Chains A and B, each alone.
Chain A
C-alpha cells in the first residue's frame, strides 16, 4: 500500500435489511484506490450504488464488510465521534439538492463547519468571506438560501464544503439540478480547486461529457466496478 493513496477500499460490501428475509447487497466487494490529488468521476445507471459508495467514502456510512482506510487511517476502528471529526476536517460534501440550512444566511452556512471545528467567531467570519469571494458570491453573503438561484446555492455549498480546507471533496451529482451554463461554472470551480489546491475530488455524474473532463472514470453496474479507465482531462 503506497502512502500515495488517499482512499483505499478493499472488498467493501454494503447490505440493507441485514438479517431480514429480504436482505440484499447493494455493493458487492468494491476494490478502489484513489490517489492523493486525483480527480475521479464515478458513473453508472441509477440504482447502481454510486451514492451508497460515496457515503461510505465520506464516512457517513460504514461498510457491512471489507476494509476502508482513509489517509492511512482504518475507519473500521473509529467511533462515531471520530468519524464526525473526520467529516468535519477532511471531507467536504456537495449534494445535488444543495442542502443549505434554511433561515441561515449564505455566509452563515459557510461558517457552519468551522463552528463545529471550534474556530472563533472572527476566524470563521474572515475565512467565510474569503471563501465567498472564491466562488464569487461576496455580494450575496447576507442572502438566505431561498433568495438564491440554483447555481448560486451550489456555489455557496462548495464554499461551505471548503470551509475547513478538507483534503477530499465529494460531490454527488452536483450539477444535476443546474442548466448547462451553470454546470460549466460549477465544473470550473472544481477544476480550479483540483489544479490550484491539489484537492482529491470524487464526482458522481450522469453526464459522460463531464466525467471525461476528470483524470479517471470509474463505472459501476449493479454494485460492482465494471470499468476503470483514464479520463481525457481538463483542457
Chain B
C-alpha cells in the first residue's frame, strides 16, 4: 500500500468529519501560528537591525578611549560613552593626530578611511517661535565614508572646507522643517547656542534625517535632536581639544573588521600602557550587531518555546481524536486485517492520517502566523520578513507532532486482534 493511497484515505476520512477535523486542528493551528508569528516579528526586528548596521557601515571599527578602573571595560561602546561623559579625559589621554598617522602607516592595506569627529555639544537654534534641538559636531572629509548620508540639497562639507576654519554647516531636513518651513535654507545662517555661547553658521547642505531601530526617537517631531555637521577644525578651534576621545576607522573591503578591532587595540597599547587612567578600545559594528542579534534571537526562541506548549496541547488533542476514530473504525480495521492487511499497513494508515491533520493544521497555522507576524512587524515599524527556514521548520514540526502523537493510537490499531475487531459492535 503506497503513500499516496494512504494520503487519499486519510483525506477522505477527514472529509467525512469536517467539523471534528477542524476542531482537532485548532490546537496545531494556534500553536504553529503563534510560533511563526513570533519568529517573524523576531526576524524582522533583527533584520532591520542588521540593515541599520549595514547602512552604518559593517566595515566600521569604533575606536574609543576608556577609563581604566572601570569594571564595565567590556560593555558596549554606547555605555562607555555615557560613562566617559562624567569624568572628562585630560588632553594627555586623548588619541592624537600623530598616533593616527602611525596607525595608518602600520596598516596601510587595512584602513580605508579615518572618520574623526569632535562634538562641540548639545544646543539649539531659536528664531522667534521656531526652534530646533541639535548636536554640533565637527567632522573630517572621511566622515561620509564611515556614515551614509543622503544629501537633499546643497553639498556635504568638502575636504577643503573640513580642513578650514570656516563657519559652514550641513543640517538635517528635520531642522530645516522646524526652522524654515517652506523657505529655502541654503545660504541662510543659523545661530547655534551651546552653553550660552552663540555661534553663527551658514547652511551649505541638507541631509536626510533617518530614524533607525538603534536610536529610535521617542520625542515629538519638533523636539528631535539632529546633528549639525561643521568642519573639524572649526569645532576643534571652538573646543580647544588636542585630540580625540573616539573615532571611526573604515576598513578596506578585503579586511575582516571583526578581526581587525583587536589588532587596533593592541596597536594603541604601545601608547597607553603607561597611562594610568585610560586605555583604547576598538569594536567592530558588526560584532556589536552580532551581540544584539544573539540576545534578540535568544528572546525570540524563548518566547517561541512558550508558544510551542500550545503545540503540545494540540498534539494531545490529535492523539485523542485518533483514539476516538480508531474505536469508531474497529470493524473496518478488523475487515482490513481479514482481507490481508499486515499490521504495518494499518499502523501507517493511521500515522499518515494523524500527519495529514497536523500538516493541514500546520499549513493554516503558517498562514495565520505570517499574517500576525506582518501585523506585529508593521506596528514595530520594521519590514516583515517571512523566512523559508521558519516555514520549513514549522512544516517539519507539524509532521513530527503528527508522527509522535499518531504513533500510539496507530500502534494500538495495528495490534487489534482481528476477531475481536470484527466482533466489535
On A, residues with C-beta under 8 Å from B are 55, 58, 60-61, 80-81, 84-89, 93, 95, 99-104, 112-113, 115-118, 160, 164
Contact = CB atoms under 8 A, between A and B. Distances in A.
Interface of B: 1, 5, 12-13, 16, 331-332, 334-343, 345, 418-419, 422
Contacts of B343: 80-81, 84
A74 to B, nearest CB: 20
A86 B418 CA distance: 14
12 contacts: A60-B338, A81-B342, A84-B341, A87-B337, A88-B341, A89-B340, A93-B339, A101-B332, A101-B335, A103-B16, A116-B342, A160-B339
B340 A99 contact: no
Nearest to B345: A116
Contact of B419 (A61, A104, A160, A164): A61
A95 B422 contact: yes
A99 B335 contact: yes
Contacts of B332: 101-102
Contacts of A160: 339
Contacts of A103: 12-13, 16
Given A99-B334, A116-B339, 10 more contacts: A60-B337, A80-B343, A84-B340, A87-B337, A88-B341, A89-B340, A102-B332, A116-B1, A116-B342, A118-B1
Contacts of A112: 336, 339
Secondary structure at chain B's binding surface: helix, strand, loop or mixed? helix
Looking at A81, A99, A102, A104, which has the most chain B CB atoms within 10 Å of its CB?
A99
A157 to B, nearest CB: 10
B418 A60 contact: yes
A29 to B, nearest CB: 20
Contacts of A115: 1, 5
Looking at B13, B332, B336, B342, which has the most chain A CB atoms within 10 Å of its CB?
B342
Contacts of A89: 340
B335 A116 contact: no
4 nearest interchain CB pairs?
A88-B340, A84-B342, A99-B335, A87-B340
Contact of A87 (B12, B339, B422): B339
A221 to B, nearest CB: 22
Contacts of B341: 84, 88, 116
B424 to A, nearest CB: 11
Looking at B12, B339, B345, which has the most chain A CB atoms within 10 Å of its CB?
B339
Contacts of B13: 103
A55 B419 contact: yes
B346 to A, nearest CB: 10
Contacts of A164: 340
Contacts of A118: 1
B27 to A, nearest CB: 25
